[in-house]
Amino acid sequence: MDILRGFKDILPQEIKRWQKLEETARETLKLFGYKEMRTPLLEKTSLFSRGVGEATDIVEKEMYTFLDKGGESVTLRPEGTAGVVRAYINNHLENSPFRKFYYIGPMFRYERPQKGRLRQFHQIGVEAFGIQDSALDAEIVYIDKIMLDKLGLTDLRIEINNIGCPDCRPKYLKSLKSYFEKYKEKLCDDCKKRLNRNPLRILDCKNKTCKSIASNAPKIHEFVCDGCKTHYEAVKKNLIKIGIKFEENPHLVRGLDYYTKFVFEIITDKLGAQGTVSAGGRYDNLVEQLGGKPTPGIGFASGCERLIELMNYNEEQDIDYYFACMEDYTTCLKLAKELTDKSNKSVYVEYESRSLKSMMKKANKMNANFAVIYGENERKNGIVIVKDMKKSTQEEIKIEKFLENEVKRWQ
């Protein structure tokens, strides 16, 4: 039986990295009072068509949408923000003292599988509600950056842009459209389609010709309204004040319709063209668009698969004690049980007797710190042999002294 295309098992060997990633993210986000939220993987399709935007690639061709047995159109979440916004509205979280949230979990997009891109992928995301002030924009960029720093990512760049709002963006889109119309024949097939639906997306097309045409396209800064301009300038000032370096990229547009005023990406040059590790921005109209009271919002999301690839991770010990039992498994189990009771050390008890040599090999493969050897001789003499696997030294210990000895070792 094959696994579905674009899906992947995460096996114990790799899971340690995932746990480390999640731990680091949780610790960082906790520092600034962000609370975890878990929303369903399955939602009504209309949440995403209204929330993410009808004219986006995600909604048009990448969603896992189907009718459930009751005939309702449902969709596996392709991104995390829409669900969190829905939960914010449904649960009246505007009354909660905490209005800053994060989530960690799988998302689903029916994309062409390619290296580093899965149909079930994972994101860590953050959403904060109710604050209009540009200081929050700076906080969001900051916590994103320190999370990546704590994970050991290096060579990161932060790019920012003003994306306008529903008041001023249409004017810009109109001007973009008439600019690109002139080059219509030269644009790639995707961009020909984008021209009518979403000319903004032509700006971040990776095609060489499209890129060079886009380089002379009108810039959004010439079109934004006063509100957008003031906010964006204030974000820049705040970033400078808290010591965050950034570059402005007028071609930075996000693939989602809901962004307003300020967007950013954190990029590494280590992955080639697909270097974005985190991206986000403000979405001041989304809550209202999904049926809530007008409420500003801002957030970011980071792709876990990329973070896993880039994070600096030292292999930790898999197991503290490997019990190499050659007979009398019960005695080994009892020693192991007492050890875990009295210390927080992990144990692995071997219940498949084999040669000492092959058991030591296994202990090495498991990255064990110590091996506890118990065979016929040891049983007769009432001892165990404790072998330090890293130093390759060993000592004989009376069985009744084992626990005391080992607990002391770690104090």
Q: Which residues bind Zn ion (CB under 5 A)?
A: 164-165, 167-168, 188, 191, 205, 207, 210, 225, 228
CB of 285 to Zn ion, least distance (A): 11
According to DSSP, residue 114 is labeled B
**Cα–Cα distance for residue pair 205/191, rounded to 1 Å:** 8
Strand partners, 371: 322, 387
The two structure tokens encoding residue 87: 């939960």
The C-alpha atoms of residue 201 and residue 223 are separated, in whole angstroms, by: 17
SS (H, E, C) 188-232: CHHHHHHHHHCHHHHHHCCCHHHHHHHCCCCCHHHCCCHHHHHHH
Strand segments, DSSP code E, in 86-179 are: 100-108, 120-129, 156-161
Q: 338 with 404: CB under 8 angstroms?
A: no
Please, what is the minimum distance in Å from the beta carbon of residue 111 to Zn ion?
17
Q: Which is nearer to Zn ion, 206 or 337 (CB)?
A: 206
CB of 189 to Zn ion, least distance (A): 8
Whole-number minimum distance, CB 1 to Zn ion, in Å?
39
What is the closest distance, in whole angstroms, from the C-beta atom of residue 201 to Zn ion in the complex?
A: 9
Q: Which is nearer to Zn ion, 72 or 222 (CB)?
A: 222
- The residue among 164 and 299 lying less far from Zn ion, judged by its C-beta, is 164
Q: Is residue 279 packed enough to be buried (19+ CB in 10 Å), middle (13-18) or exposed (0-12)?
A: buried
If the CB atoms of residues 255 and 375 are measured against Zn ion, the closer one turns out to be: 255
Q: E strands of 194-329, at which residues?
A: 247-248, 260-268, 276-282, 297-303, 321-325
Query: Would you say 65 or 207 has its CB closer to Zn ion?
Result: 207
Distance CA 351, CA 353 (A): 6
Least distance CB 4 / Zn ion (angstroms) = 30
> Contact at 8 Å (CB) between 101 and 86?
no
For residue 311, how many C-alpha atoms fall within 13 Å in the half-sphere facing its CB? 27
Pairing of strands 247-248, 64-67: unpaired
Nearer to Zn ion, 53 or 164 (CB): 164
Q: At its nearest, how many Å lie between Zn ion and the CB of residue 233? A: 13
Instruction: Judge residue 29's burial from the number of C-beta atoms within 10 Å of its C-beta, 0-12 exposed, 13-18 middle, 19 or more buried.
Output: buried
Closest CB to Zn ion among 204 and 338? Answer: 204
Q: Which tokens hold the place of 73? A: 């159109």
Q: How far is the CB of 188 from Zn ion (least distance, A)?
A: 3
CB 167, min distance to Zn ion, A: 5
Complex with Zn ion: residue 228 or 332, whichever CB lies closer: 228
Q: Which is nearer to Zn ion, 16 or 193 (CB)?
A: 193
Q: Which residues contact 404 (CB under 8 A, 6 or more apart)?
A: none
